[in-house]
Structure 1
Amino acid sequence: MDRPELPLPQLHAFVVLAEELHFGRAAARLGIAQPPLSQQIRRLEDKVGHALFHRAPGAIALTPAGEELLPAAQRAIAALSDGLAAARAVGSGRAGRLRIGFAASLALTVLPGLLRTFRGRFPDVHLDIHEMTTAPQLAALHDNTIDIGLLREPPADTTELDFRTVLTEPFVAVLPSTHPLAAQRSVHVRQLADSPFVLLPRAVGPQLYDRITGLCTAAGFTPRVAQHAVEWQTVCALVEAELGVSLAPASIRRVRLKGVAFRRIEPGSARTRVAVAWRTYDSNPLVTQLLATVSR
């Protein structure tokens, strides 16, 4: 059997009248005259098929049918009120869910402070955090599976994504502590020409890979890549195992491994760019709120 549709204005009128048990006071609360209130109640009773109020001169009371309907009507009104409040909070960017991808090395730099500041301003926003390298972040942004990316060396040839630089940082040489160059305070890139390299695969971060190999090319050699590792922490571990050397963002120095030495490189002008990325036409207000946090 089809269920009768109960319009919310009629339920609202019913709940207020059930609470006041007086047409005059109920009409005043609703901001309407008594005749329209009576019409609302009559229409609701027609839909229910039974009287909801006993009417007597100077007094009204709920019928059994009215007593049965009242709790459900109160829950419906409360649920609608809660839903409207939640929708307003989400629409204004004060609540909701924000999906963020981040490069693992950024957990050593900008990520903790950014998340702490954002959570302080918007405690009701649920942050869904995903650790991933640059290429998967770009794909996830295009596929709408994350809302914000924090990545290194963003591409320059995309029209669907926007980027904002968060910071730049220099590169360092990552050496086994037993390597002869570890005794120096700084290392020229060309001094690494005869050493095998441990690098991230190009597929996970093409721009960063090309920046690093470009430094080697500018120094007059092509790096001989002996091992690949997806995360910088693993790169450092393989360097500690003396499988090669690497060039990495300076923040990687926060990875504490006894068998690894980090040294400044020459030329010292080489820097890597960290950026926040988002879809150009994203209407999610939480994206705007996070971008405002980055700008602070």
Structure 2
Amino acid sequence: MASPLLPLPQLHAFVVLAEELHFGHAAARLGIAQPPLSQQIRRLEDKVGHPLFTRAPGPVALTPAGRELLPAARRALTGLADGLAAARAAAEGRTGRLRIGFAASLALTVLPGLLRTHRDRHPGVHLDIREMTTGPQLAALRDGTLDVGLLREPPEHDDDLSFRTIMEEPFVAVLSASHPLAARHRTLPPAALADSPFVLLPREAGPGLHDRITTLCADAGFTPRVTQQAVEWQTVCALVETGLGVSLAPAAIRRIRLTGITFRPLPATTPRTTVSIGWRSTDESPLVRNLLATVTA
């Protein structure tokens, strides 16, 4: 019994000859001599078990078997071409799904521009965007449920993850409009907040950022008296607005529009918060590689 598997080079030669109906023209189009073309067609006819072309007398023409095979041969070649193109696109990171975590405050700064630029460069990539605080992002990166994280204050060393700094951002003091310090001069040293209760993110939401803020306070000579906690900066600001305390926060949150709060910059010498992109150190995905290239462009 003849094998049902037809070699693709023979199918290609068959389709070209079916379109040209001339051995010389078809051979020239294929870039081969006529004898190898004739051999390819003969081998294909042996596979099919019937002639595919009439040869003499008169011009070359498709037989009934040839006419029946032609559409299937074209589909096979088109399918292969499409498959090769899809494989190349996936290998080059031009298609696929990229899962990106981001800290909510970064939606006010780097995130929109980064996503816009990356979509312009790689429109075939589906971006799965997930809002998460830094602590859960680190866990999701480690367990593979995130590909990339945009986060604040990553750990200084992690055996499983790599980080690249995107930007550094100053802190601001967050006060209710009725707080006595709200009427003071524009720059506010952290020490001025020593006697006020604090509203802060819980440490598990962002260990690095939480520690950075408490270190700022320690460097100013006090330990913040945390009386309220909230996972999102929007909620922190809302609690400050009600007079439940003050906070230190990344400067991006000044874009949160609440009429009852005031933001005051800290002295220029105050350490800043670091914004980084993180990924699994062993991840060699072209999707991740392309996003890193967008970040550093």
TM-score tier, shorter chain, comes to: 0.7 to 0.9
Are the aligned partners of 2:188 and 2:264 in contact in 1 as well (CA < 8 Å)?
Answer: yes
Pairing of 1:269-280 with structure 2 (within 5 A): 269-280=270-281
* Residues 196 and 225 in structure 2, CA contact (< 8 A), matched pair in contact too: yes
Shift of 1:3: 8.3
Distance (whole Å) between structure 2 residues aligned to residue 14 and residue 115 of structure 1: 47
Identity of aligned residues (%): 72
Q: CA deviation at 1:226?
A: 2.9
Distance in 1 of aligned mates of 2:69 and 2:192: 83
Instruction: Pick closer, same or farther for the CA change 1:40–1:142 going to 2, 3 Å.
Output: farther
Q: Secondary structure at the match of 2:60?
A: strand
Partner residue, 2:206 = 205
User: 2:244 & 2:220 partners in 1: Cα distance?
Assistant: 22
Q: What does residue 218 of structure 1 align with? A: 219
Deviation at 1:96, TM superposition (A): 4.4
| Residue type of the alignment partner of 1:279 | R
1:287, CA displacement in angstroms? 3.0
Number of equivalenced pairs: 295
Q: Is the 8 A contact 2:3 2:47 kept in 1?
A: no
- The 1:48–1:132 alpha-carbon spacing in structure 2 relative to 1, beyond 3 Å, is farther
Q: Work out whether residues 188 and 267 of structure 1, in 8 Å CA contact, stay in contact via their aligned partners in 2.
A: no
Q: Kindly indicate whether the alpha-carbon contact (under 8 Å) linking 2:97 and 2:128 is maintained by their aligned counterparts in 1.
A: yes
How has the CA–CA distance of structure 1 residues 46 and 244 changed in structure 2, closer, same or farther, with 3 Å as cutoff?
farther
Amino acid across the alignment from 1:153: E
| Residue in 2 that maps onto 1:262 | 263
Aligned to 2:173, the other structure's residue is in SS state strand
- Contact 1:229–1:235 under 8 Å retained in 2: yes
Question: Which position in structure 2 is the counterpart of 1:71?
Answer: 71
Give the whole-Å Cα distance in 2 for the aligned partners of 1:204 and 1:49. 70
1:184-228 deviation per Cα after TM superposition (whole angstroms, max 9, x unaligned): 233332333343322222112111111112222333333333333
Name the SS for the 2:245 alignment partner.
coil
Q: Deviations over 1:52-88 (max 9, x none)?
A: 3334334232233332322222122122223323333
1:162-205 CA-to-partner distances (Å, cap 9, x unmatched) read 22211111111112212222222333323333433222221121
Larger displacement relative to structure 2 (189-198 or 174-183): 189-198
Cα distance change on mapping 1:170 and 1:49 into 2, 3 Å:
same
Unaligned runs of 5+ in 2: none
Residues 1:117 and 2:102 aligned together: no
Structure 1 residue ranges without an equivalent (≥5)? none
Distance 1:204 1:48, change over 3 A: farther
Q: TM-score when scaled to structure 2?
A: 0.87
Equivalent residue of 1:6, what SS?
coil
Question: How far apart in 2 are the matches of 1:50 and 1:196?
Answer: 91
